[in-house]
Amino acid sequence: MSDFDEMYRPNEDHDAIRAATRDICEGKVAQFAAEADEKAEFPQASFDALKAADLHAPHIPEQYGGFGADALATVIIIEEIARVCASSSLIPAVNKLGTVPLILAASDEIKQKYFPQVAEGKMFSYCLSEAEAGSDAASMKTRAVRDGDDYVLNGQKVWISNAGVSEFYTVFAVTDPEKRSKGISCFVVEKSDEGVSFDAPEKKLGIKGSPTRTVRFENVRIPASRMVGEEGTGFITAMRTLDHTRVTIAAQALGIAQGALDYAMGYIKERKQFGQAIADFQGIQWMVAEMGMKIEAARQLTYAAAARSERGDADLTYYGAAAKCMASDVAMEVTTNAVQLLGGYGYTRDYPVERMMRDAKITQIYEGTNQVQRIVMAKQLLKGLPENR
């Protein structure tokens, strides 16, 4: 067996993590999913359950007091949480998104300061997008101006997941406007820093239990020691981060799809029409077969991407984009079909599949739209992928 096979295939530890996560999710998370969606409130009870089990930020290394989950274990955890509650799955997913820049580029001092706090339960968010700089992130306007031993930040970031709940924020800002992407730097900003404020939560189609807000910075003074990496390297760090964390969005989409299929299969076995369970009708069986087939294809691609994330392979950019794109497209198709399988009941909030359909949509949009993912994949293919597949 090759090293790749050992990394790619879940081992006994991964299986145990899946089983334990599923038990916690079914016992302590699933029951709050509908309420979090209905009230558009952060699922604190779910967070508390995940935190108690070290599942709120499982990727934090053991040396900082974390669980130390590898990339595949983290994917499995997010997948299992999303199977019952997509909003709750953004707790470990966003914590990873916010801290990967530190893992990739931060000083030991920054890691020692923040990682133990995340392991203990404080959350991290990622601040890249702006109103006029979405897919074109290099066009950001948020500025960070050097002033002695400090930097002073001014600007705003939009669509920030878990904003207001998180204590810490990885913020990308322009330090040299003449250099475009090479003039962007990365900083850690704390919620308590003077001048940091949050708009009201966005009113969204799905993932309503994960607050999405605009974060504003008005003359926010932070020490230069909170810069992540060297000045001017922020954009590279941001893009490298997304290579890794698109895999976690693929995991989220995968979990949503699996949850919808599981529920729909239970329903069609019980629902009777024309004197028999609708699961006995060939047309229904074909739909279920198609759903299951596509979910498993997405799962295999996602796990392959997770293995590359763990190793830092040169073709991670391609595989991360491919996994995110495929899994989210599959999630949208599977959840829509799950609603169809439940008929009129599927269209009501009394059943979870309509929530899953709404939640699935965002996975095609955030961390790079699927149109952008296809551009990324095409560029990687055209220049030639490394020969390590």
DSSP state of 37: H
Residues 6 or more apart whose CB falls under 8 angstroms from that of 146 comprise 175, 224
Containing 246, the helix (H) or strand (E) segment is helix 234-270
CA distance 342 to 4: 41
- 199-205: which pairs have CB atoms within 8 A and are 24 or more residues apart? 201/40, 201/164, 202/159, 203/40, 204/40, 204/362, 205/358, 205/361, 205/362
Neighbours of 131 (CB within 10 A): 12
Separation of first and last alpha carbons in the chain: 15
Residues 6 or more apart whose CB falls under 8 angstroms from that of 334 comprise 257, 260, 261, 291, 294, 295, 360
Output the pLDDT for position 4: 44
Which tokens go with 362?
Answer: 């965002």
CATH 1.10.540.10 fits 3-120, yes or no: yes
Catalytically active residues are: 367
Distances (CA, A) of 383 to 315, 318, 380, 386: 11, 11, 5, 10
Which tokens go with 200?
Answer: 């009201």
Determine the 3-state secondary structure of 56 from DSSP.
Answer: coil
Neighbours of 350 (CB within 10 A): 9
Give the torsion sign (CA, 218, 220, 224, 227). negative
Alpha helices by DSSP H, 1-85:
3-8, 12-28, 30-39, 44-52, 71-84
CA distance 352 to 333: 16
CA distance 153 to 150: 10
**To 5 degrees, how large is the angle CA 144–CA 150–CA 154?**
30
Determine the 3-state secondary structure of 29 from DSSP.
Answer: coil
Residue-wise pLDDT tens for the chain (389 aa)? Answer: 344 444 577 899 999 999 999 999 999 999 999 999 999 999 999 999 999 999 999 999 999 999 999 999 999 999 999 999 999 999 999 999 999 999 999 999 999 999 999 999 999 999 999 999 999 999 999 999 999 999 999 999 999 999 999 999 999 999 999 999 999 999 999 999 999 999 999 999 999 999 999 999 999 999 999 999 999 999 999 999 999 999 999 999 999 999 999 999 999 999 999 999 999 999 999 999 999 999 999 999 999 999 999 999 999 999 999 999 999 999 999 999 999 999 999 999 999 999 999 999 999 999 999 999 999 999 999 999 886 55
Q: Which CATH number fits domain 124-232: 1.10.10.10, 2.40.110.10, 3.30.465.10, 3.40.718.10?
A: 2.40.110.10
328 and 370 Cβ atoms separated by less than 8 Å: yes
Q: Which CATH number fits domain 235-383: 2.60.450.10, 1.20.140.10, 3.40.50.300, 1.10.3720.10?
A: 1.20.140.10
Burial letters 275-314, b for 16+ CB under 10 A, else e: eeebbeeeebeebbeebeebbeebbebbbbbbbbbbeebe
Residues 6 or more apart whose CB falls under 8 angstroms from that of 267 comprise 341, 342, 345, 351
CA distance 190 to 142: 16
pTM attached to this predicted model: 0.96
CA distance 283 to 120: 50
Give domain limits for the chain: 3-120, 124-232, 235-383
